[in-house]
Chains A and B, each alone.
Chain A
């Protein structure tokens, strides 16, 4: 789901115009759904569809990994035990530097497909 967007520096006048005409015309199901969405997420960008979805699509798979931090944490591990990650091992955030133990295990797919069973 797209995150609420900050206001763009460029004023989007067309958005305001559309809202005016909307009130005058009969509301199609699509426009009714749009109104629902805007009611829930008032900060949603004025640009319909648009490049934010596209940018999100292009960036699929981005994971931020700092090999320097990782290697330093690994080196420290040799000397003392670092506190392990919390119960949710998939979420390594904040000040916690990922250590080999904390990284979520890559799913093992080297098992025969069940379709071939």
Chain B
């Protein structure tokens, strides 16, 4: 049985809906998807890739004629957001890879999103144009200038319909504020400010002002030899514009209140699970590093992802999480090789569904996992071209840990660690999920009856 929205214990059957991208034998690095994000209504779905490009998909209107095709996502706009740069002063190569995309809530006909690479955040405006002025006096329809001596009468240009054109323009560029690599951006609930976080610092910006930002967290030690932890992710509270959290490489989360002081180096709350010292190993700190932190939609909980687990914390309880879910505990006996091939440093993200009843995160072998917080049931599904017949129901997958392998199971040693699902997104109100599998984007929906 598969978890979904928890109401009335109804189970969700996940079906294949669409897949975007090509089946290439060798994957071009630029095509690797690095971020996926639905906008606030779920009408738009944005992806960013290692080549610095953003592709936005729009859900088509559901038609009564084809009730089975529940709103497919089609390309709406695509643009080059960031380009590779070289910082000559620091001998630093700046990748164009899009680390994060965050949408602003829609306030007029245009859509706005923030996209960031390691160093620069950009605000993009995506707008539609479906009319154009015709009948200029001084130039003809092709744009060529008319000979003024040939003009005998004046006319008033009029707006005439044209084929829909979607344009993306960079409206703001927020640069030169981060010495270290930006890992997170988060739009504040006041819709006027946002934050950008790098390994050691967090800055607060106003959308209108690009040449100034406020530093609100600075954990850089005076002596870099004393560096023990870095910031791994940060997010604003969904409703309280003064509150944000940031996670660290040591597995801790700090909640800060911007009302207390300008520099929020002292946390208001500190979330850490006590560690059993007898379990400590060389790997302990590495696997406890939090790769993602997300507030629940309600604002009551935070979810964190470390290498092997997803944890849910109640903001009112700092000394331990209220729920811990094992994503792929069978990897615990593979840590040595995962360290050698660097997989132990993979940064998985995690997401909530719209009602905060189910959480989802990725794993290896193109598997992804969902945990129903109410029923405590979990499922492993796979994003693969083999299960990509339209509306095909996804079959639960199982990893076998040793001993007798059943027919449909896959053994730990057969897992493909190059097929990692790091980025997923869940529609804000419906059971539609987007799963990035290297260079392909899968969209799954629940079964329509």
Name A residues whose Cβ lies closer than 8 Å to a Cβ of B: 1, 18, 21, 25, 28-34, 36-38, 40, 44, 48-51, 53-55, 57-58, 60-65, 67, 106-107, 109-117
Known: A61-B94, A63-B92, A115-B441. A33 touches B283 (CB 8 A): yes
What chain B residues lie within 8 Å of A25 (beta carbons)?
278
What chain B residues lie within 8 Å of A107 (beta carbons)?
29-30, 51, 84
B52 with A65: CB separation less than 8 A: no
B88 with A113: CB separation less than 8 A: no
A30 with B30: CB separation less than 8 A: no
What chain B residues lie within 8 Å of A30 (beta carbons)?
279, 281, 283-284, 332, 335
Nearest residue in A to B332 (C-beta to C-beta)? A29
Nearest residue in A to B285 (C-beta to C-beta)? A49
Report the interface size class on chain B: 35 or more
Other A-B pairs, 19, CB within 8 Å; known A37-B336, A40-B340, A116-B55? A1-B340, A29-B335, A30-B283, A32-B333, A36-B336, A37-B335, A49-B283, A51-B228, A55-B227, A58-B200, A62-B90, A67-B88, A107-B84, A113-B55, A114-B439, A115-B49, A115-B55, A115-B75, A115-B78
Nearest residue in A to B345 (C-beta to C-beta)? A53
Known: A62-B92, A109-B96. A115 touches B281 (CB 8 A): no
The 7 closest A-B pairs by CB, nearest first: A49-B285, A109-B51, A33-B335, A29-B333, A36-B336, A116-B78, A33-B336
What chain B residues lie within 8 Å of A62 (beta carbons)?
90-93
A25 to chain B, nearest CB (A): 6
Whether, in the assembled complex, B161 has its beta carbon less than 8 Å from a beta carbon of chain A, the answer is no
- How many contacts A-B (CB < 8 Å)? 149
A64 to B93, CA, bound (A): 10
Partner of B199, one of A32, A57, A115: A57
A63 with B284: CB separation less than 8 A: no
Contact with A along B323-361 (1 / 0, CB 8 A): 000000000111110011110010000000000000000
Known: A1-B339, A18-B280, A31-B281. A109 touches B93 (CB 8 A): no
A34 to B335, CA, bound (A): 8
B50 to chain A, nearest CB (A): 8
Known: A53-B286, A62-B91, A107-B29. A21 touches B278 (CB 8 A): yes
A31 to B342, CA, bound (A): 18
Known: A58-B199, A113-B49. A33 touches B118 (CB 8 A): no
What chain A residues lie within 8 Å of B282 (beta carbons)?
34, 37-38, 44, 48-49
A60 to B244, CA, bound (A): 27
Whether, in the assembled complex, B21 has its beta carbon less than 8 Å from a beta carbon of chain A, the answer is yes
What chain B residues lie within 8 Å of A106 (beta carbons)?
84
What chain B residues lie within 8 Å of A53 (beta carbons)?
249, 286, 345
A54 with B227: CB separation less than 8 A: yes
A34 with B84: CB separation less than 8 A: no
